[in-house]
């Protein structure tokens, strides 16, 4: 019996199919980001992108599962199916808009939607939904998914995954850079020349700010920071937030909504009687301080490139500048990638690495005992 190498899909080698697609839906639960990418003479480049809002009912069901940590098997299976259909539709819409045929795409890299991440328990696990079988069937494109669990099988945190991508695309000889992704959770990649990247989750990014404004104003995020700008920082609450043991942990470390959520915040607020605007402003300061403390531990002065939704928050960007005056802070636009699509592009790149059967250099980030080939391939 012989097996066909994964580097040859269908009847043609992968290098005759110029495109990869990346799908990303993070802890903010605001949209599915889709990036169309291509490997060419300039490297691995983004050609197009679109952000598809999650249907309100689907988003609410996902939030309920993540926050309450309880779900029936029937509901879990149905949400897995619904989310996969939304991903497939997002891909098909992008292909139609860009006049690209499915046969021109080598593979889709799908992160899936994390509903629980538990790397530090006796039996570590991570759970993402978004059935890759359905994505492959509905798009007629090979889908690479389940990127985290092989790293965890080798003792790693399974997150963050993007530092290896940051290293491949953004590292520069004899130059130290930090790539800061501010999604629901914030994470940093420390790029020290061409050495292997180092990185970890610093803590909450937009997640608590988004949850608080949604609770009080039914808005998915604090657009232009209007809500936070109306308040002032409460130093007692800020101190309480910073007391969480996570911030004293040494890397490798990763976290998510299962830890930092409204229930966690409510416990911190029990001894405080604050107006809602002051809480929002303090949450923004909390995000800024935890990010900056970690970056300054890693670098006295360097260029910091910001991506993710936090890059669009003017007050948060201002506070990063204020707290790190020795660092030059700009978005990844300066590196030729739209800051809103960096993670989606990363999963297109991870799909390419899997199809080419390349190991992903992440053990320095996740704490795994070896680098591994990440992801499973689902053929249509």
The CATH number assigned to the domain holding 21 equals 3.30.420.40
Query: Do residues 167 and 199 both lie within one domain?
Result: yes
Region 56-79: mean pLDDT is: 90
Is 328 a domain residue? yes
Average pLDDT, the chain: 92
Q: Is residue 146 left, alpha or beta, with left meaning phi > 0 and alpha meaning psi from -120 to 50? A: left
When pLDDT is averaged across residues 193-208 and rounded to a whole number, the result is: 92
**Residue 41: its pLDDT value, please?**
84
pLDDT at 10 over 80: no
The whole-model pTM stands at 0.90
Q: Is 25 a residue whose pLDDT tops 80?
A: yes
* Band (16; pLDDT cuts 50, 70, 90): low
The reply to whether 329 and 198 lie within a common domain is yes
Q: Are residues 201 and 83 both part of a single domain? A: no
Kindly state whether residue 1 falls inside one of the protein's structural domains: no
Q: Which of 125-134, 238-247, 250-259, 353-362 has the least mean pLDDT?
A: 250-259
Query: What is the reported pLDDT for 221?
Result: 93
**Are both 178 and 210 inside the same structural domain?**
yes
**Residue 104 and residue 191 in one domain:** no
Looking at per-residue pLDDT, the higher value among 2 and 242 belongs to 242
Q: Which residues contact 314 (CB under 8 A, 6 or more apart)?
A: 224, 225
181 and 57 belong to one structural domain:
no
Reported confidence tier of residue 321, pLDDT bands at 50, 70, 90: very high
For residue 291, pLDDT over 70 is answered with: yes
- Residue 228 and residue 352 share a domain: no
Span 116-144, mean pLDDT?
95
Q: Do β-strands 198-204 and 303-307 pair in parallel, antiparallel, or remain unpaired?
A: unpaired
Q: What is the DSSP letter of 172?
A: B
139 and 173 together in one domain: no
Please give the average per-residue pLDDT across 207-233, as a whole number. 96
Q: What share of the chain in percent tops pLDDT 70?
A: 96
Residue 355 lies inside a defined structural domain of this protein: yes
The pLDDT of residue 3 is 33
Does residue 185 sit in the same domain as residue 209? yes
- Give the mean pLDDT of 175-190: 95
Instruction: Please give the Cα distance from 81 to 223 (Å, whole number).
Output: 31
Give me the pLDDT at residue 40, please.
Answer: 86
Identify whether 248 is part of a domain: yes
Residue 143's nearest CA partner among 151, 153, 133 is 133
User: Mean pLDDT across the stretch 327-354?
Assistant: 96
Domain that residue 196 falls in: 162-335
Write out pLDDT tens, residues 269-284.
998 889 999 999 999 9
**CA–CA gap between residue 49 and residue 121 (Å, rounded):** 37
How big is the CA angle at 277 (ends 218 and 116), to the nearest 5 degrees? 55
- 47 and 146, same domain (yes or no): yes
Tokens of 284: 């923004």
| pLDDT value, residue 258 | 87
- Across the range 49-62, mean pLDDT stands at 91
Bond prior to 201 in cis (omega within 30° of 0): no
Same domain, 116 and 214: no
Please count the structural domains in the chain. Answer: 2
Whether residues 59 and 182 share a domain: the answer is no
Residue 2 lies in a domain: no
Residue-level pLDDT at 271: 87
Asked if pLDDT for residue 236 goes beyond 70, the answer is: yes
Q: What would the two tokens of residue 203 be?
A: 């803590």
């Amino acid at each position: 019996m012989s097996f066909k190498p994964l580097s040859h899909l269908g009847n043609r080698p992968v290098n005759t199919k110029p495109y990869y697609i990346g799908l990303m839906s993070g802890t903010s639960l605001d949209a599915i980001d889709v990036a169309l990418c291509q490997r060419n003479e300039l490297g691995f480049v983004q050609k197009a992108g679109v952000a598809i809002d999650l249907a309100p009912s689907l988003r609410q069901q996902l939030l309920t599962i993540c926050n309450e940590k309880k779900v029936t098997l029937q509901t879990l299976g149905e949400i897995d199916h619904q989310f996969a259909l939304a991903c497939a539709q997002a891909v098909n819409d992008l292909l139609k808009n860009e006049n690209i045929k499915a046969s021109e795409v080598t593979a889709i890299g799908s992160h899936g939607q994390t509903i629980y991440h538990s790397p530090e328990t006796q039996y570590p696990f991570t759970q993402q939904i978004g059935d890759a079988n359905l994505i492959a069937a509905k798009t007629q494109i090979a889908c690479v998914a389940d990127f985290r669990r092989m790293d965890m099988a080798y003792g790693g945190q399974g997150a963050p995954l993007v530092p290896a991508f940051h290293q491949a695309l953004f590292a520069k000889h004899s130059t130290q850079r930090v790539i800061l992704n501010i999604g629901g959770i914030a994470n940093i990649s420390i790029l020290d020349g061409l050495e292997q990247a180092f990185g970890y989750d610093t803590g909450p990014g937009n997640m608590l700010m988004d949850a608080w404004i949604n609770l009080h104003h039914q808005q998915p995020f604090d657009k232009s920071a209007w809500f936070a700008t109306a308040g002032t920082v409460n130093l007692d609450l800020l101190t309480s937030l910073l007391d969480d043991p996570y911030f004293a942990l040494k890397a490798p470390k990763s976290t998510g909504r299962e830890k930092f959520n409204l229930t966690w915040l409510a416990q911190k607020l029990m001894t405080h009687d604050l107006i809602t605007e002051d809480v929002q402003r303090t949450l923004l300061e909390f995000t800024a301080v935890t990010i900056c403390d970690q970056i300054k531990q890693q670098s006295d002065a360097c260029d910091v490139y910001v991506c993710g939704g936090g890059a669009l928050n003017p007050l948060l960007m201002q506070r990063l500048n204020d707290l790190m005056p020795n660092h030059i802070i700009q978005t990844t636009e300066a590196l030729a990638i739209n800051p809103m699509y960096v993670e989606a592009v990363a999963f297109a790149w991870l799909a390419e690495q899997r199809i080419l059967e390349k190991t992903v250099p992440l053990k320095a980030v996740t704490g795994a005992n070896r680098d591994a080939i990440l992801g499973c391939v689902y053929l249509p």
